Amino acid sequence: MDAISSAISGFHTAQYRLDVATTRLSEGHVLPEVVSAQDLAQKQIEVQVSQLKEALEAESRILDLLV
């Protein structure tokens, strides 16, 4: 369950960063570092979703063994 909690926490952090970067872009802050921050946040979200899927699959396998 710790892996799931960690993945969800990481997802929320990356989502917050993406929201901040998107807001700055919508306000006209089209600076390279803002665009880079948005790209990085999107990649972090992809990684966190992948880790969450892996953690859920592992949890499912454990539960199957217990049943």
Read off the pLDDT of residues 7-23 as tens digits, 9 standing for 90 and up.
Answer: 888 889 988 988 888 89
Distance CA 27, CA 22 (A): 9
Task: Tell me the pTM.
Answer: 0.71
Alpha carbon distances (Å) from 19 to 41, 47, 56: 9, 17, 26
| Tens digit of each residue's pLDDT (9 = 90 or more) over 9-66 | 888 998 898 888 889 888 887 788 878 888 899 999 999 999 999 999 999 999 899 8
**How much is the pLDDT for 54?**
92
Containing structural domain, residue 22: 2-66
Question: Tokens for 17?
Answer: 């960063």
Asked whether 48 and 25 are in contact (CB, 8 A), the reply is no
Structurally, the chain folds into a number of domains equal to 1
**How much is the pLDDT for 34?**
79
Residue 1 pLDDT > 70, yes or no? no
Asked whether 32 and 1 are in contact (CB, 8 A), the reply is no
